[in-house]
Chains A and B, each alone.
Chain A
Amino acid sequence: MNQLTYGLLTGIMFGFFLQRARVIRYDMQLAALRLQDFTIFKFMLSHVLVAMVGIYFLNDLGLVKLSIKATVLGGVVLGGLILGIGWGLLGYCPGTSLGALGEGRLDSIWGIIGMAVGAGLYAEAYPYLSKSVLTWGNYGKITVPQVLGINHWPVIIGVAVAFLGLLYLLEKYEKKSRYSRPASISKHR
């Protein structure tokens, strides 16, 4: 199998799980951003927990390579906030917009076209941004274990404990507010 076939099959499986967990629809994404339903957090944190342990284990055996994105504070902080604002308005992120279209949510088409336009605008602005925002606070490709100067396994355990603690709190919070949740969210569960 070549790279493209692997990409397609990986996407099909990922899209299948996203849809079955019901995390790609607008109502679910907005419910997360309105702090009413934390299904998306549960999905994401579970993904990260499993893949973090698996990939670092394989990396220790020399079977896989890490691919770390640079920490450029200007780009990551500003870009991250801008993406968040757009995400709140669109209700889909780049990956889930295609998944939403797959389950028939036609409004995602407008979003997908918008994102293609956004990518074009960014390409136009890139020569200026690369000389300004993208030079602010460039710390290179750093990881949390590198910054702390310790082995990655204590960090992995720390992150796992923090995630599990967060999920426990979210479950408790959800139980408490279950009866005040708007009907539009629970309808599709």
Chain B
Amino acid sequence: MAKDKRWNPYIAGALSGLISIFSVFAVGHYLGASTSFVRTTGMLEKFINPERIAKMDYFIKVSPKIDWQWMFVVGILIGSFIAAITSGTFRLQAVPDMWHARFGSSVLKRGLAAFTGGVIAMFGARLADGCPSGHGLSGTLQLAVSGYIALICFFAGGVLMASFLYRKEGQL
């Protein structure tokens, strides 16, 4: 077994909670991620057909531009990279271990599942108006009713899908 250098999740979680407080105090922004995917798609579609995007209700509501949250999401990528490199846990991997053990080493198979999962997840996130960050963390910590309902539904859907994918042979 590898050396256990992972941070205690209670401490890391609590520290990230302080980040949350600081962000709200300093610039009034609660952590969230999924809106940035809408803005990115909007910015990409603007290259192709700017007139159509300008008239679409959802891109009027969520305008395609780089904002605080968009930079936050990019920051997660950079922060994770720094943490991985400095702890020696950076590892290029196209098929996760658990997936590999169940579904084999096909990069394409994993890729198609990840793509499809991504499409479904983001459609749901926008319909719910938030993701595990926006509802699950920022909603619940503000005691928003929507946050608690969303968090329960996220896990219910996730547990359902995971138990279907990793069901024992012969079931279903």
Contacts and interface: CB of A to CB of B under 8 A. Distances in A.
Interface of A: 3-27, 30-35, 39-40, 42-52, 54-56, 58, 63-73, 75-108, 110-127, 129-130, 133-134, 139, 141-145, 147, 152, 155-156, 159, 182, 184-189
A123 B56 contact: yes
The B contact surface, by secondary structure, is: helix
B104 interface: no
A126 B77 CA distance: 29
Contact of B14 (A47, A124, A185): A47
Nearest to B32: A95
Contacts of B72: 7-8, 10-11, 14
A104 B91 contact: yes
A98 B84 contact: no
Contacts of A4: 66-68, 71
Contacts of B54: none
Contacts of A15: 75-83
Interface residues of B, number: 134
A186 B1 contact: yes
B124 A83 contact: yes
B130 to A, nearest CB: 6
B124 A80 contact: yes
Contacts of B143: 52, 56, 143-145, 152, 155-156, 159
B16 A18 contact: yes
A79 B125 contact: yes
Nearest to A89: B117
Nearest to A99: B80
B159 A107 contact: no
A45 B134 contact: no
A116 to B, nearest CB: 5
A42 B12 CA distance: 9
Report, nearest first, the 5 A-B pairs whose CB atoms are least far apart: A11-B75, A84-B157, A114-B118, A88-B161, A80-B153
Nearest to A26: B96
B87 interface: yes
A98 B73 contact: yes
Nearest to B95: A107
A66 B21 CA distance: 11
